[in-house]
Amino acid sequence: MNSGFPPDSVGLVAARTLSFDAPLALDCGRSLDRYDLVIETYGELNAARDNAVLICHALSGDHHAAGYHSAEDRKPGWWDSCIGPGKPIDTRRFFVVSLNNLGGCSGSTGPGSLRPDGSGHWGPDFPILTVRDWVRSQQALMQALEIEQWAAVIGGSLGGMQALQWSIDYPDKLRHCVAIAAAPRLSTQNIAFNEVARQAILSDPEFHGGRYAEQGTVPARGLMLARMLGHITYLSDNAMDDKFGRELISGAPQFTFEPEFQVESYLRYQGTSFIERFDANTYLLMTKALDYFDPAREFDGDLARAFAGTRARFLLIAFTRDWRFSPQRSRELMRALMQAGRPVSYACIDSPLGHDDFLVPVPDYLAVFGQYMQAIAQECGQ
């Protein structure tokens, strides 16, 4: 079963598609009459059906969180560091559900999908989604899988925001909420970065108002720029310095605009490889969902009141060098939960990378996350 793959990998995995035909009402006032969600699952659902955990992905993630799609696969799923036998989200104990969010570009219904009325691609007409909309669609997924309650809803970054929204919107449907490198809402600076990323895409001449599919083209430069900008915010100043330094590739200035510093080729590589797997309209949607996320808004900005009705226990993890969603943002969440009298734990992992650390097997991170998950597994007799 696991042949050729690392022993702590879930091994070969395959995605499947679930189709939903009950209309999904969206925050923007529109609704989706039918939609598909692509999912992967790892591990086994127990007889009591109480060991299921939901993984929510971040900006550029998808359903492929762990394992390999083929023996030739070079890289495992995006959160393979944390999902697998013996890892924090231990697939010997949990039934792990991971999906591609609505609006995504990895198989779930999104701007790249064909409209049900046969009028071509959704493109820019696809509704702009919110984190709440995603959570609502994930709840439909939960019903389809006949799961009554998640043992935990878990996510990093934008995924953590979905986990938090779950705890507010469906308090009885999850026992634990794990939000890693998340924030109660974006800072103005975060929104500013997103706006520059969007402008990079929107102003690409190949964007064609979002109807590039009809034109048989792709706004590659815009998407590449957006991703390059993103990657600057995923790493700390120090980490960039350590990884790339200021060494000139050819040893001396060449007086050209070709990549001369390593960080330039790194960003270009990240940008160009992103074009192959990601869709510009989806990128726009995802950044918008981030910008809108603000669960305190309905409670006059009082985050403690937003959490007052939650029933889950919370684990928040932040990383010292993360400046995109800094530890202070997780502490805001912690304080609000404490004020609301809700059970919350918080750890700040001393690690060098920055925001990207949530994807990396930092030992202290795995220890904190793993111990918490182990306690959950014990609760459900796993």
- Residue 138 Rama label (left phi>0; alpha psi -120 to 50; beta): alpha
Q: How far is the CB of 187 from other proteins (least distance, A)?
A: 17
In the complex, least distance from residue 375 CB atom to other proteins, rounded to whole angstroms: 5
Is 9 known to be catalytic? no
Instruction: Clarify whether 157 is annotated catalytic.
Output: yes
CB closer to other proteins out of 208 and 305: 305
Task: Between 259 and 352, name the residue whose CB sits nearer to other proteins.
Answer: 352
Of 29 and 363, nearer to other proteins (C-beta) is 363
Q: Of the listed 62, 279, 322, 356, which one is catalytic? A: 322
Closest separation in Å from C-beta 66 to other proteins:
22
Q: Which residues pair with 261 in a beta bridge?
A: 248
- Catalytic residue list contains 119: no
Long-range (24+ apart) CB contacts under 8 A made by 168-173 are 168/295, 168/306, 168/307, 168/309, 168/310, 169/132, 169/135, 169/136, 169/139, 170/135, 170/139, 171/309, 171/310, 171/311, 171/312, 172/311, 173/139, 173/142, 173/148, 173/149
How far is the C-alpha of 69 from the C-alpha of 75, rounded, in Å?
A: 9
Selecting among 64, 121, 176, 355, the annotated active-site residue is 355
Binding site for other proteins (CB under 8 A): 313, 315, 331, 334-335, 338-339, 341, 343-350, 364, 367-368, 370-372, 374-375
User: In this structure, are residues 330 and 346 in contact, taking their beta carbons and an 8 Å threshold?
Assistant: yes
What minimum distance in Å lies between the beta carbon of 380 and other proteins? 13
- Of the candidates 364, 99, 58, which has an alpha carbon nearest to the alpha carbon of residue 181? 58
| Cα 357 from Cα 100, distance rounded (Å) | 22
CB of 366 to other proteins, least distance (A): 10
Please list the active-site residues. Answer: 157, 322, 355
